[in-house]
Structures are given as structure tokens and as C-alpha cells.
Amino acid sequence: MDNQNNLMEKIVALCKRRGFIFPGSEIYGGLAGTWDYGPAGSLMKKNIKDIWWKELVQLRDDIVGLDAAVMMNPRAWEASGHVEAFTDPLVECKICHQRFRADKLEEIASHEETHKGQKVTWTEPQKFNLLVKAYLGIIEGKQSEIFLRGEITNGVHVNFRNVLDSTRVKIPFGIAQVGKAFRNEITPGNFTFRSREFEQMETQFYIKPDGKEGEKWFEYWKKNRMDWYLSLGMRQENLRFRDHEDNERAHYALAATDIEYNAPWGWQEFMGVHHRGDWDLKRHQEFSGQNLTVKDLETNEEYLPWDIETSAGVDRSFLFILVDSYREEEGRVYLKLSPKIAPYKAAVFPLLANKPELIEKARGIYEDLKKDFMVAWDDRGNIGKRYAAQDEIGTPYCITVDFDTLKDDSVTIRDRDNAKQIRVKIDEVRGYLLDRIK
């Protein structure tokens, strides 16, 4: 366990040192459960979301995109059951008054150890609503109470009819969305794993209400999502499916499974596939009074579609990709990130920062490559320190302009993973990178 804790300490330190993730509002002492993504982190996070969107929306004909509002009519949250059921039973430490989820026995035991020599007693479990309240209106006392969305699913379901009427999609089809959600997490922890503000990537895939059809699409999306994470370079031995037991599955779910990662603190869920049946559309139809059925043009049958949901945490995916890519080998630290995800695809250096001719040549290459890739520039310190910095950011290739470059128009390209170097002609550098970043 100590080695695993040590790994997380290294990850957290690297994220701060290299501009991946900073504590939220740090100069004011922070705000628990909030995080800010720095220059490298914001690029990597955008890459993950862009790859997800491209695969599920751009390259498919049966999924369209949506960007729904964070604030919704409160009736929508009543319909989805969040107002009534989006609660966690919590217990409170009577010594320090910290609260923990009643089902997290390991966290409770760990907390008791912090009160060395003291007998720790706890309150009876009480329910606390996880929805974050907000208020609309300019006159104090006359404001409307609303909720910031606790998940992004609802915005898709309430727009089901709008999407159906404004596009040419037909069953089976999906609606994809990426967006922020907010939860009043009582015990945020494990770095960004459990946060109060987080981002989700989801598809709601609507199908005919048929048992075999549901089973087919549920298995399809399980494999599709696992294959996607493997395509990002995650190690297969660190990923697994875990089906929900009957007593933990939502009452409306016909089937549910998680993709879990072998995190430093144990197997943890970061992606779910859920067969939600017609629960969502049925509830929104009931509460809104709007007809959300579809008609089969061949049989004239009207029905409420079933929904197969894929729901991934962007921040959790980001975190586990980082953990999975972390390497310490032969005295150096590097992130073995897929070039598709890496914040910068390449870095360009002049061998020496005080030689104008080297700087001019290197800047020309840098400016040219920037048109097609995110490329870093670094002329600080010696070349070894520059390599080390780019290794920790996960930059796959470092391009160095030296004195030989002035003679033969070739540069040194260093590979992050094996530290080997080759010479490549300047006019071939773009093609070299393109072949390896696809």
C-alpha cells in the first residue's frame, strides 16, 4: 500500500510541476473537491474529448451531438428522481465532525486511525442531497431555487423530441454530449477521482423495446467502449468489466456494468454501460405532459424507446490514463502517453540558446509545424534538462537543431519511449510525425 500511496504522491507532484492539474483557488487556500487544469492538462483533456467526439459523432451516422444547458427547470430533476433519491447516507465523526459515506468502511476505518489513542464514535447514518442548489433572480428573497445538474443525462432526454423532429435520425440512434456536472460530494478524495465539479462524456442510444435488441446493443457498447480505452494505449491488464449486483443496480436498470481501472487504491469505476429501459422517457413524458413516443413507419406501432447509456468520467479517464502511462526507467521519469492524447506532439529545441543562427533555424521549423500540431518550444537550460521536462509532459518526439543542421538541413529526432535518436531531413519531419501520431 505504501508503494501505491507513493505513486499517487508522485503523480500529484508531477501534475503540479508540469502544469497538468492545480488545486482549485489555490492562492486563497483552495476549495476542496475542485481542480484547475493547467496548460498541459487542458490540452490533454481536450484531446481526450475530441477523440471521443470524433469516434462517436463525426465518424458515425447513427449518433448526433447535443450541448444542453447546465441549469434546467427543477421539474426535470423531479422527473428523473434526483430530488428524491440523489442522496447518500452519511455518518459524522463526533470528534472532528467530518462526514463519510456510510458504505465506505475502509475510509471510515482509515479516518479513525488519524485520531490516535482516541475512541471514535459516529452518528447514525443520515441522508444528504448531492444536488448543488443555485438561485435565479435579482431580488433577494424572491429568487427561484434551481439545481446545477448532477449529471448530464437529463439534458439529452428532455431534448429527445427536439432531436427527433429536427434531424433525419431514426431508431436505433444515439445522442452524444460532453459537459460539466456538479455534486455536493461530502468526502471528495483520491486527487481528482471524486470531485464536486467534474466533466462527463455520454451517449444515450435509443432502441426498440425488445429483449434481444437490448441484449445485442448492451453487449455491443460494452465491447465498443473497452476497445476505445485500449486504443488510447491503456494496458489491458489494468482494465476489467464489473457487472452490478442486483442489490446495487438502479431499480429501473435492466443491466449495468462498469469498466474499472486497477488504481493505486484498488479497482475503481470510471466508465459505465447501463441498460436504462424506458425509465427516463417515461418519467419525462409523465411529468411534462408531452408525448415522447415514436411511431414505427412499417407497423404503425407507437412505443417509448429503450435507452442504452454509455457514461464516462472525463476527469477519471484523464487521471487513470496518467497513472497508466507513468514510467520510471533507468533513472528517468516519463509519461508513455499515446501520441493522440499527448498535450504536445513534438518539442523543438535549438542546441544552444545563445547562437542566433541555431535559434533562427529552429524557430522556422517550430512555426511551420505549429500549423498542423501542438508543438512546444524550449531553449532553457541544457539539452538534457529539456529532454527530462518533455518526458514528464509525455511529449513523444523532441527535435533538436544543431550545427550539423546548418550544413545538411537535417535534425535530430529523439523518441520519448526509448530515448533513441535519428537524423531526419527538415522537409521530411512533418511526414515523420504524421505517420506516428495517427
How far apart (Å, rounded) are the C-alpha atoms in residues 158 and 69?
A: 11
- Angle (CA) 200-201-205 rounded to 5° is 130
Burial 193-204 (b: 16+ CB within 10 A, else e): bbbbbbbbbbbb
Residue pLDDT, tens place only, 348-392: 999 999 999 999 999 999 999 999 999 999 999 899 999 999 999
DSSP state letters, 348-372: EEES-TT-HHHHHHHHHHHHHHTTT
How far apart (Å, rounded) are the C-alpha atoms in residues 174 and 307?
A: 9
pLDDT of 127 higher than 80: no
Q: Write down the mean pLDDT value for the chain.
A: 93
Express as a percent the part of the chain with pLDDT over 70.
Answer: 97
Dihedral sign for Cα atoms in the order 202, 206, 207, 212: positive
How far apart (Å, rounded) are the C-alpha atoms in residues 327 and 337?
A: 10
Angle between helices 429-437 and 356-369 (to 10 degrees): 50
How far apart (Å, rounded) are the C-alpha atoms in residues 360 and 237?
A: 47
Residue pLDDT, tens place only, 53-80: 999 999 999 999 999 999 999 899 889 8
Angle between helices 314-325 and 39-53 (to 10 degrees): 110
pTM of the model: 0.90
Q: Three-state DSSP class for 330? A: coil
Question: Contact at 8 Å (CB) between 154 and 281?
Answer: no
pLDDT of 81 higher than 90: no
Question: Contact at 8 Å (CB) between 146 and 135?
Answer: yes
DSSP state of 236: G
pLDDT of the residue at 3: 64
Q: Which residues are paired to 256 by β-bridges?
A: 274
pLDDT of the residue at 4: 63
pLDDT of 418 higher than 90: yes
pLDDT of the residue at 138: 80
Residue with cell 546548418: 406
Cell of 278: 424506458
φ/ψ bin of 277: left (φ > 0), alpha (ψ from -120 to 50), beta (otherwise) = left
Burial 32-71 (b: 16+ CB within 10 A, else e): ebbbebbebbebbbebbbebbbeebbeeeeebbebebeee
How far apart (Å, rounded) are the C-alpha atoms in residues 80 and 135?
A: 20
How far apart (Å, rounded) are the C-alpha atoms in residues 375 and 361?
A: 15
pLDDT of the residue at 95: 82
pLDDT of 1 higher than 60: no
Angle between helices 2-17 and 314-325 (to 10 degrees): 110
Dihedral sign for Cα atoms in the order 41, 46, 47, 53: positive
344-437 to CATH, choices 3.40.50.300, 2.10.260.10, 1.10.1420.10, 3.40.50.800: 3.40.50.800
Number of other CB atoms surrounding residue 169 within 10 Å: 16
pLDDT of the residue at 85: 59
φ/ψ bin of 68: left (φ > 0), alpha (ψ from -120 to 50), beta (otherwise) = beta
Q: For domain 2-75+148-324, say whether CATH 3.30.930.10 is its number.
A: yes
Number of other CB atoms surrounding residue 183 within 10 Å: 22
Residue 85's nearest CA partner among 252, 228, 208, 201 is 252
Residue pLDDT, tens place only, 229-286: 999 999 999 999 999 987 778 778 899 999 999 999 999 999 999 999 999 999 999 9
How far apart (Å, rounded) are the C-alpha atoms in residues 28 and 35?
A: 13
Q: Where are the domains of the chain?
A: 2-75+148-324, 344-437
pLDDT of the residue at 412: 97
Residue with cell 544543431: 402
For 15, phi then psi, to 5°, come to -60, -40
How far apart (Å, rounded) are the C-alpha atoms in residues 256 and 373?
A: 39
When pLDDT is cut at 50, 70 and 90, the band that residue 305 belongs to is very high
